Amino acid sequence: MCTALTDWSLDQLLNNSRIEAVGVSTDDEEIYAHTRAKNTVDFGRRPAELCTDTAPKWPVWQHSRAAAEENWSSFGLC
């Protein structure tokens, strides 16, 4: 569910001149679609094994970084 807090956070990041790109890692289709509509880096949706309450953080970070690196060129960052 997208909330005012989600939008506030995204807007703060997207409107900051020192931040070149914003990506959001999520397994939620609504949040994914909403953040993509705001022109965030396309990480794709997080794999199911990284979406549990017990999933370790390190693989989530690795997935996000790999996805960002794959899509950097679409944002003119490389």
Show me where the domains of the chain are located. 4-75
Burial of 4 (0-12, 13-18, 19+ CB in 10 A): exposed
Read off the pLDDT of residues 16-43 as tens digits, 9 standing for 90 and up.
Answer: 999 988 888 888 899 899 999 998 888 8
pLDDT band at 58 (very low <50, low <70, confident <90, very high): very high
Kindly report the average pLDDT of the chain as a whole number: 85
Inform me whether the pLDDT recorded for 6 exceeds 90: no
The pLDDT value recorded for residue 15 is 95
Output phi, psi for 21, to 5 deg: -155, 150
Task: Give the whole-angstrom CA distance, residue 70 versus residue 1.
Answer: 27
Task: Give the whole-angstrom CA distance, residue 30 versus residue 46.
Answer: 13
Please give the span between the terminal C-alpha atoms of the chain, in angstroms, as a whole number: 33
The percent of residues in the chain predicted with pLDDT above 90, rounded, is 36
pTM of the predicted model as reported, rounded to 2 decimal places: 0.73
